[in-house]
């Protein structure tokens, strides 16, 4: 539609990043993250409840007030005023008198100005409330003036923080205790990413969908190699009750899913065309490179000390390593001792979970795309697979265990449609990896 306009190139960029039509908030990044569009798909009144921001400018374009009164009533305008920063501008093509009265009652200075696109007049306003309400403490920034941060940990979490903060204009230094990035829990050779489907589309489903779509976009932007597409078996719902969303997830019969998986699957499946599998370390390295963060490797941090200017990071001898007004701890369970003072209770609420995955160097079934459901299988690109994984809370054993490998091989056999454990090479040498993750209450 915009091919002949002066904005054809920008329109193509927007169309290329347009998300699947799933409800919720979608962040679209342009100009290497320097420009972001937060796109809300769904009921505007519901979405307003989810926004946490202070807007400098508001534009009201909810069609005609007479035809779409829900986007012009007092409740919606009051919601917008709660999101407006003092001095924020507001504008709309409409000169609807009740709307102007409502804006004035909410603290806007309202006036009429020459219109555009054939409109003789339009409404303009500036937010000048007599009283500025105090924002909830949970919505106040921790370090609002910080332009520099030190991030402890160079795994996926630390790399993602560095990329996000650098795109907000924050200068980042990443400190890592190990010789290279992503060598601890983020050092697994392969990992899955995909959204979830839930009948009521609750908070968990929406969060996972947003994370999966953001990962998909970031992998494309950073040109990170990865396996595209993922199947997740559905063992509870019949195919007739499975409804997909174009561009996000498709409901496949057992026969359709089997054709994609290259083996006979016993259940229908959800197919996520934008999901897949990645090497976490490669992803972490790409995010660190894109962030431009300074990277200090083989630099363990033994203690944090709060000072008037922010925080000091100390080594085991008490010597100063780094200092910054903002510190992000992103290094997993090894950093729990750093959570002193009032944060000790937070550390006590976290559950450490051990996971073991198994490597089959010669697999009887090597799927062309990752398959999950009661376990997972990811091809290693050389005729073998990674499969797993176990989950044991509070288990600190770093050694590979035969019992866990047998459990992973049973999962592999079930996914592959093999006759049972006897159909898998149980005599293979113990091979795989152990890693840990934290779980918060309610996870």
CATH number of the domain that 286 lies in? 3.50.50.60
- State how far the Cα of 125 lies from the Cα of 111, in Å rounded to an integer: 6
Q: How far apart are CA 293 and CA 181, in angstroms?
A: 13
Tell whether the model's pLDDT for residue 137 goes beyond 90. Answer: no
What is the pLDDT confidence band of residue 344, given thresholds at 50, 70 and 90? low
**136, 312 contact by CB (below 8 A):** no
pLDDT of residue 343: 64
272 in Cβ contact with 195 (< 8 Å):
yes
- Number of Cβ within a 10 Å radius of residue 234: 20
Same domain, 95 and 120: yes
Contact 364, 418 (CB under 8 A): yes
Instruction: Tell me if 233 is assigned to some domain.
Output: no
Give the residue from 349, 369, 392 where a domain finishes. 349
Among candidate residues 76, 103, 137, the one where a domain is terminated: 137
* Dist CA 163 CA 9 (whole Å): 26
Q: Residue 424 is encoded by which pair of tokens?
A: 């898998």
Q: How far is CA 27 from CA 41, 179, 214, 362, in A?
A: 11, 34, 7, 41
Question: Distance (Å, rounded) from C-alpha 369 to C-alpha 129?
Answer: 56
Percent of the chain with pLDDT over 90: 71
| 154 in any annotated domain | yes
Q: What angle in degrees, to the nearest 10, is found between the helix axes of 203-222 and 280-291?
A: 70
Higher confidence at residue 271 or residue 438?
A: 271
Predicted TM-score of the model (pTM): 0.88
Q: Is 294 in the same domain as 400? A: no
pLDDT tens profile 53-67: 889 999 999 888 888
What average pLDDT does this structure show over 251-280?
A: 96
Q: Which of 107, 137, 167 is the last residue of a domain?
A: 137
Read off the pLDDT of each residue in 97-104 and give the average, rounded to a whole number: 95
pLDDT at 169 over 70: yes
Contact (CB, 8 A) for 36 and 214: no
221-228: average pLDDT: 96
Number of helices (H), then strands (E), in the chain: 10, 23
Calculate Rg over the CA atoms of the chain. Answer: 26
More confident residue, 328 or 117: 328
Question: Residue 59 has what pLDDT?
Answer: 95
- pLDDT band of residue 420 (cuts 50, 70, 90) is low
Reduced to 3 states (helix: H, G, I; strand: E, B; else coil), residue 43 is coil
Q: Are residues 320 and 380 in the same domain?
A: no
Q: Which pLDDT value is given to residue 424?
A: 47
pLDDT for res 140: 77
What percent of the chain is predicted at pLDDT more than 70? 96
22 shares its domain with 94 = yes
Into how many domains does the chain fold?
A: 3
339 lies in the same domain as 358: no
Asked which of 33-37, 81-85, 217-221, 357-361 is least confident by mean pLDDT, the reply is 33-37
In a domain, 245, yes or no: no
- Domain harbouring 422, CATH code: 3.30.9.10
* Same domain assignment for residues 25 and 132: yes
For residue 190, being part of any structural domain is answered with: no
Number of other CB atoms surrounding residue 343 within 10 Å: 13
Q: Is the pLDDT of residue 188 over 60?
A: yes
Both 317 and 365 in one domain: the answer is no
- Asked if residue 268 belongs to a domain, the reply is no
Region 165-184: mean pLDDT is 95
Instruction: Inform me whether the pLDDT recorded for 409 exceeds 60.
Output: yes
**pLDDT at residue 342 is higher than 60:** no
Residue 267 in domain = no
Q: Pinpoint the alpha helices (H) of 195-264.
A: 203-222, 254-261
User: For residue 175, what are its two tokens?
Assistant: 């400190």
Check whether residue 310 and residue 421 sit in a common domain. Answer: no
| Mean pLDDT value of segment 118-123 | 92
Calculate mean pLDDT across residues 125-145. Answer: 82
Tokens of 268: 């229908």
Q: What is the arithmetic mean of pLDDT over 254-271?
A: 96
Confidence at residue 341, expressed as pLDDT on a 0 to 100 scale: 64
Diameter over CA atoms, the chain: 82
Q: Which residue has the higher pLDDT, 278 or 350?
A: 278
Highest mean pLDDT among 195-209, 242-256, 411-425: 242-256
Q: How far is CA 127 from CA 41, 114, 130, 355, in A?
A: 26, 20, 10, 53
* Within a domain: 192: no
Residues 21 and 128 in one domain: yes
Spatial contact of 425 and 365, defined as CB atoms under 8 Å apart: no
Phi/psi zone of residue 375: left (φ > 0), alpha (ψ -120 to 50 degrees), beta? left
What is the structure's pLDDT at 442? 67
Q: Quickly list DSSP for 126-138.
A: EE--SS-PPPPGG
**Is residue 370, in this structure, part of any structural domain at all?**
yes
**What's the average model confidence in pLDDT over 414-439?**
77
98 and 24: one domain? yes
Q: Mind listing the pLDDT tens digit for each residue in 8-30?
A: 889 899 988 899 999 888 989 88
CATH number, position 61: 3.40.50.150
**Structural domain for 126, as ranges:** 15-137
Q: Does position 138 have pLDDT exceeding 80, yes or no?
A: no
pLDDT at residue 281, rounded to an integer: 97
pLDDT of residue 405: 96
292 and 411 assigned to the same domain:
no
Q: What is the mean pLDDT of the chain?
A: 91
Q: Please, which pLDDT band fits residue 339 given cuts at 50, 70 and 90?
A: confident
257: nearest Cα among 369, 161, 421, 360: 369
In this structure, the answer to whether residues 404 and 330 fall within a common structural domain is no
């Amino acid at each position: 539609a915009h091919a002949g306009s002066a904005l054809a190139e920008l329109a193509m960029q927007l169309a290329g990043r347009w998300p699947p039509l799933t409800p919720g908030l979608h962040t679209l990044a342009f100009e290497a993250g320097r420009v972001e569009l937060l796109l809300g798909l769904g009921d505007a009144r519901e979405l307003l409840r989810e926004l946490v921001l202070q807007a400098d400018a508001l534009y009201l374009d909810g069609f005609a007030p007479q035809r779409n009164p829900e986007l012009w009533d007092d409740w919606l305008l009051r919601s917008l005023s709660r999101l407006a920063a003092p001095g924020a501008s507001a504008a709309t093509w409409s000169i609807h008198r009740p709307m102007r009265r409502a804006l004035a009652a909410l603290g806007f200075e309202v006036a009429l100005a020459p219109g555009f696109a054939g409109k003789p007049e339009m409404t303009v306003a500036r937010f000048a409330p007599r009283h500025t309400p105090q924002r909830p403490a949970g919505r106040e920034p921790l370090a609002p003036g910080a332009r520099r941060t030190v991030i402890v940990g160079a795994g996926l979490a630390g790399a993602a923080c560095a990329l996000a903060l650098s795109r907000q204009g924050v200068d980042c230094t990443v400190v890592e205790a190990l010789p290279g990035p992503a060598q601890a829990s983020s050092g697994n050779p392969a990992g899955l990413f995909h959204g979830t489907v839930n009948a009521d589309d609750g908070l968990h489903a929406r969060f996972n969908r947003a994370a999966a779509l953001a990962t998909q976009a970031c992998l494309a932007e950073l040109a990170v190699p990865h396996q595209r597409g993922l199947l997740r078996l559905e063992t509870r719902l019949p195919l007739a009750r499975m409804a997909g969303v174009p561009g996000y997830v498709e409901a496949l019969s057992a026969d359709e899913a089997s054709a994609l998986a290259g083996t006979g699957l016993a259940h229908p499946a959800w197919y996520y065309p934008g999901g897949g599998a990645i090497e976490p370390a490669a992803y972490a390295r790409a995010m660190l490179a894109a962030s431009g963060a300074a990277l200090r490797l083989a630099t363990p941090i033994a203690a944090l000390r709060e000072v008037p200017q922010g925080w000091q990071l100390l080594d085991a001898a008490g010597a100063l390593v780094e200092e910054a007004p903002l510190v992000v701890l992103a290094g997993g369970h090894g950093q729990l001792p750093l959570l002193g003072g009032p944060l000790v209770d937070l550390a006590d609420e976290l559950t450490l979970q051990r996971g073991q995955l198994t490597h089959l160097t010669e697999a009887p079934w090597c799927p062309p795309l990752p398959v999950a459901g009661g376990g997972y299988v990811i091809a290693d690109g050389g005729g073998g697979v990674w499969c797993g994984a176990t989950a044991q809370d509070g288990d600190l054993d770093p050694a590979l265990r035969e019992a866990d490998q047998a459990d992973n091989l049973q999962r592999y056999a079930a996914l592959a449609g093999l006759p049972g454990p006897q159909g898998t090479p149980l005599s293979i040498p113990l091979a795989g990896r152990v890693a840990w993750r934290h779980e918060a209450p309610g996870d």
